[in-house]
């Protein structure tokens, strides 16, 4: 039952500090790992705050990006109200807004147990799991790349072609918009493309951190798969990263993506025993 004293409204720039306080000081925070921080989405139509006694006590953001897909980018709740009341109040408004737009898939990756019952009560169900694999810098197995493919650094001018590859390689749920890819390139520690004589056929984008690196994105056009292009991109990444002193590398993929799992494991990646469920609801 929703607490009738809770008022839900669209978030605005004046809420920046209030939402920031929720994110950094309150106990119940869900944040979607993204090329944008939760506060970067402030100003989008699908971003709300809940007020109780004129205080901002909770916030929910599920902006649509790419088209037809709304990931829950943020749910933050203070201790002023119960989790159930805060979620129910915000989700009721969010759901009605998204339903009115028609054909929206809402998704969330839950990394904390307390978030799961809230999603279940809202009609979400588990579609698959995200698994994490690690590479510890062990020597790479011999590999001879396709001589018809060139791997080179990605440039900003490559982004439209990269976005086309991304759209062809992934179902809508996992696609990155052109804007997201632009942000990814700006934050990348390494970004390369695989290019045939005619066009870009694959790419990878990775980040660096004090402990090593993370392969954030790998894609190959469906018509060019099973030709060693994905392997060549990852092999090149690991080889060059090792030269820079980056030994440990991680990557995420879906537990039912057998092709990706086989590729990474053949290059020395090992499961890290971490899994996170992907919850989906179709509105």
- Is 142's pLDDT higher than 60? yes
More confident residue, 283 or 211: 283
At residue 3 the predicted structure's pLDDT band, cuts being 50, 70 and 90, is low
pTM: 0.91
- Is 233's pLDDT higher than 80? yes
Model pLDDT, residue 2: 54
Enumerate residues 6+ apart whose C-beta is below 8 A from 139: none
Of 154, 163, 84, give the one whose Cα is nearest residue 116: 84
For the stretch 180-192, pLDDT in tens is 999 999 999 999 9
- Domains of the chain with bracketed CATH: 6-123 (3.40.630.30), 131-276 (3.40.630.30)
Model pLDDT, residue 201: 97
Of 60, 124, 82, give the one whose Cα is nearest residue 281: 124
Q: What are the structure tokens assigned to 177, written together?
A: 């918009």
Beta strands 28-31 and 125-135 are: unpaired
Model pLDDT, residue 166: 97
- Is 144's pLDDT higher than 90? no
- Is 211's pLDDT higher than 60? yes
At residue 147 the predicted structure's pLDDT band, cuts being 50, 70 and 90, is confident
């Amino acid at each position: 039952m929703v607490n009738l004293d809770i008022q839900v409204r669209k978030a605005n720039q004046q809420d920046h500090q209030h939402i920031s306080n929720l994110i950094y000081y309150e106990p119940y925070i869900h944040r979607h790992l993204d090329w944008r921080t939760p506060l970067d989405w402030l100003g989008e139509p699908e971003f709300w705050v809940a007020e109780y006694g004129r205080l901002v006590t909770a916030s929910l953001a599920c902006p649509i990006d790419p088209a037809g897909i709304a990931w829950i980018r943020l749910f933050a709740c203070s201790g002023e109200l119960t989790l159930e009341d805060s979620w129910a109040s915000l989700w009721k408004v969010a759901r009605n807004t998204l339903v009115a737009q028609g054909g929206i898939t809402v998704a969330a990756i839950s990394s904390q147990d307390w978030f799961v019952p809230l999603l279940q009560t809202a009609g979400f169900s588990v579609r698959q799991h995200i698994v994490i694999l690690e590479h510890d810098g062990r020597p790479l197995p011999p590999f001879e790349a396709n001589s018809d493919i060139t791997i080179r650094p990605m440039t900003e001018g490559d982004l439209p072609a990269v976005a086309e590859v991304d759209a062809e390689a992934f179902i809508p749920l996992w696609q990155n918009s052109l804007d997201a890819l632009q942000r990814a390139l700006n934050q990348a520690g390494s970004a390369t493309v695989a290019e045939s004589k005619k066009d870009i056929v694959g790419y990878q984008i990775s980040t660096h951190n004090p402990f090593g690196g993370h392969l954030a994105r790998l894609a190959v056009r469906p018509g060019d798969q099973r030709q060693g292009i994905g392997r060549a991109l990852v092999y090149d990444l690991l080889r060059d990263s090792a030269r820079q002193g980056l030994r440990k590398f991680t990557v995420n993929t879906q537990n039912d993506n057998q092709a990706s799992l086989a590729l990474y494991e053949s290059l020395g990646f090992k499961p890290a025993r971490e899994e996170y469920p992907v919850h989906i609801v179709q509105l």
